[in-house]
Amino acid sequence: MSLKKDNYKSSDKKIMNFAIRLAENKKYLTGTNPSVGCVIVKNNEILSFATTNNGGRPHAESIALNKNRYNKGTSLYSTLEPCSHHGVTPPCTNLIIKNKVKRVYYSIEDKDLRTFNKTKKILKSKKIVAISGLQKLNVKNLYKEYNYIRSNKAPYVIGKIASSSNLNILRNNSYITNEHSRRVSHILRFQNQAILTSYKTINTDNPKLNCRLNGLEKFSPTVVVIDKNLKIKINSYVIKNSTNSKLIIFHCSQNNSKIKMLKNLGVKLIYQKLVNNINFNLRSITQKLYTLGLHRLLVESGKDLMTNFLNENLLNEFYFFKSDKIISNRDKINISSLVKMINKNYKNKKKINTYLDKDTLTHYY
């Protein structure tokens, strides 16, 4: 059954908007599974509500249904098409049928091909009314990354770089931007499952690449380093903390002694062939990360690696932080050509400028 937008009741819209708010509160906490909000209603009374559990399981529908002793004759509101495939857990459609739910509303179809557009048929066969499209425009942003990941079977990749007002970056670990910009950077780290950089950045800046916001430290991303010849310094922070930070290095080295040393330190090494004996295929690397369950990727690197990501059209979004400082010393790198490339690559997309005290953040998406 399909209803036009104008036929939805005001109460239905309000309930689904509540489900959407629930899902938004858990976004980035549900692993490779989407964050879903679910509300169970009967006789205009909310009986229960739930979101997808941290890590992705149990699903929101399962949690909400299990909160009630009786669900017969209820209406279930879900921000996403309830799953109909057997995975780690049984399909949510099985639970809906078992609990004798009368009516199911959901906003959009699940891009996972195991479920996509199958739920209605399954529920209809059991005489359960299934209505899709409720507040679908309101969930567009909620599932933007998830829909891209599922449709393309590739990570959603975000680029990030910071410079002085005269478009220079330092060759050491000195801060360019203010504390407000740095807090936004840490939010980005929390929101992404992996953070990718080059060995040059590691050796020059010795960055921690973790999330240092109170309460979110345990959500620090897996660190991924591009290092063809394993030149990374053994005494770097990411090496010393590789067990806790989950460090992955892509390389093509034959240095067996260093390979053994890094493995003993808890580093995951992935051998990758070069293209034309020059560089790695970055798309191939992102595909490998996808297979490892790292579906949201933040690239925090220097000029060269970021340029390569832009050239290969691998960045879905970009965050450019610019401070009010002027860097004029010799030990600097100018990124004016990179900024021109960013503006060119995103000229047909949206751009938002935000002031973070005296810093400026430009978000391209």
Tell me 33's DSSP state. Answer: S
The vertex-160 CA angle with 155 and 161, nearest 5°, equals 155
The amino acid that residue 36 corresponds to is V
Residue tagged 């009630």 (tokens):
68
Contact 304, 335 (CB under 8 A): no
- The Cα–Cα gap between 5 and 7 comes to 5
Q: Which of 138, 186, 145, 139 is nearest to 31 (CA)?
A: 145
Structure tokens at 47: 């009986």
Tell me 112's DSSP state. Answer: S
How would you classify residue 315: left for phi > 0, otherwise alpha for psi between -120 and 50, otherwise beta? beta
b/e map 17-26, b = 16+ CB within 10 Å:
bebbebbbeb
Residue 202's alpha-carbon distances to 13, 28, 206, 277, in angstroms, are 49, 26, 5, 23
Contacts of 276 (CB under 8 A, 6+ apart): none
- The Cα–Cα gap between 3 and 5 comes to 6
Of the residues 24, 45, 61, 109, only one is catalytic, namely 61
Structure tokens at 22: 């629930």
Q: Is 61 a catalytic residue?
A: yes
Q: Where are the alpha helices (DSSP H) in the chain?
A: 10-26, 60-66, 92-98, 119-125, 144-152, 179-191, 199-205, 237-240, 242-245, 256-264, 282-291, 303-311, 336-345
Catalytic residue numbers?
A: 61
